[in-house]
Structure 1
Amino acid sequence: MDVVMEYLDTYVFDGVYNKAAGLTSTEPLPRNSILRQSISLFVFIYTYIILFYFGTAGLSYRYVYDKKQEQHPKYLKGQRFLEMACASRALPQITVLTIPWILGELHGHSMVYKEWDKYGYPYLAISAIMFILFTDFCIYWVHRLEHHPKVYAQCHKLHHKWIVCTPFASHAFHPIDGYLQSLPYHLAVYVFPMQEYVYLALFAFVNVWSVMIHDGEYVSNNPVVNGAAHHTVHHLYFNYNYGQFTTLFDRLFGSYRKPTAEIYDRSKRNSKSVQSKQANEIDDKIPTLEAKKSQ
Structure 2
Amino acid sequence: MDEFLSVCDYYIFTPYIYPVDWSEDYAPRQCISICLILWFSGFLLYFFTATFSYFFVFDHQLKKHPLYIKKQISLEIKYTSWTSPLASALMAPLFLAECRGYTKLYNSIDERGWPFVIFSIISFMMFTDCLIYWIHRGLHHRSVYKAIHKAHHSWKIVTPFSSHAMNPVDAWLQSVPYHIYPFIFPLNKYLHIALLMLVNFWAISVHDGNFKVPDILKPIINGSAHHTDHHMFFNYNYGQYFTFWDRVGGSFRVPSAFEGKSPLDELKKK
TM-score, normalised via structure 1 length: 0.86
Paired residues of 1:239 and 1:255 also in contact (CA < 8 A)? yes
1:251 maps to which of 244, 247, 253: 247
2-structure distance, mates of 1:112, 1:125: 15
Which residue of the partner structure matches residue 233 of structure 1?
229
1:83-232 aligned at under 5 Å gives the runs 83-221=76-214, 222=217, 223-232=219-228
Structure 1 residue runs of 5 or longer lacking an equivalent are: 22-26, 274-295
8 Å contact 1:231–1:241 — kept in the other structure?
yes
Aligned to 1:291: none
- The Cα RMSD (Å) is 1.7
1:292 aligns to what? none
Q: Does 1:270 align with 2:239?
A: no
Stretches of 4+ moved more than 4 A in 1?
Answer: 262-267
CA separation of 1:267 and 1:140: change in aligned 2, threshold 3 A: closer
Provide structure 2 residue ranges, at least 5 long, that are not aligned to the other structure: none
- Residue 286 of structure 1 corresponds to which residue in structure 2? none
Contact kept? 1:135, 1:184, Cα under 8 Å: yes
In structure 1, distance between residues paired with 2:264 and 2:248: 32
Q: Which has the larger radius of gyration?
A: 1
Amino acid at match of 2:123: M
Aligned amino acid, residue 178 of structure 1:
A
Distance 1:264 1:59, change over 3 A: farther
2:60 maps to: 67
Query: How far apart are 1:117 and its partner, in Å?
Result: 2.3
Contact 1:262–1:269 (8 Å) recurs in 2: no
Identity %: 40
Q: Distance in 2 between matches of 1:219 and 1:264?
A: 14
Which residue matches 1:40? 33
Q: Which residue of 2 aligns with 1:6?
A: 6
What is the CA-CA distance between 1:9 and the residue it aligns to? 1.8
Q: Deviations over 1:181-232 (max 9, x none)?
A: 1111111111111001111111111001100000101232421111100101
- Displacement of 1:12: 2.4
1:15 alignment counterpart = 15
| Aligned-partner Cα distance in 2 for 1:267–1:138 | 31
Please report how far the alpha carbon of residue 14 of structure 1 lies from its aligned counterpart in structure 2 after TM superposition: 2.2
Report the alpha carbon displacement of residue 140 of structure 1 after superposing the two structures with TM. 0.3
> Deviations for 1:100-119, whole angstroms, at most 9, x for unmatched residues?
10010011101111121222
Paired residues of 1:90 and 1:174 also in contact (CA < 8 A): yes
Cα distance in 1 for residues equivalent to 2:175 and 2:116: 24
Contact 1:224 1:247 in 2 (8 A): yes
Please report the TM-score for the alignment, with normalisation by the length of structure 2.
Answer: 0.94
Deviation at 1:270, TM superposition (A): 3.3
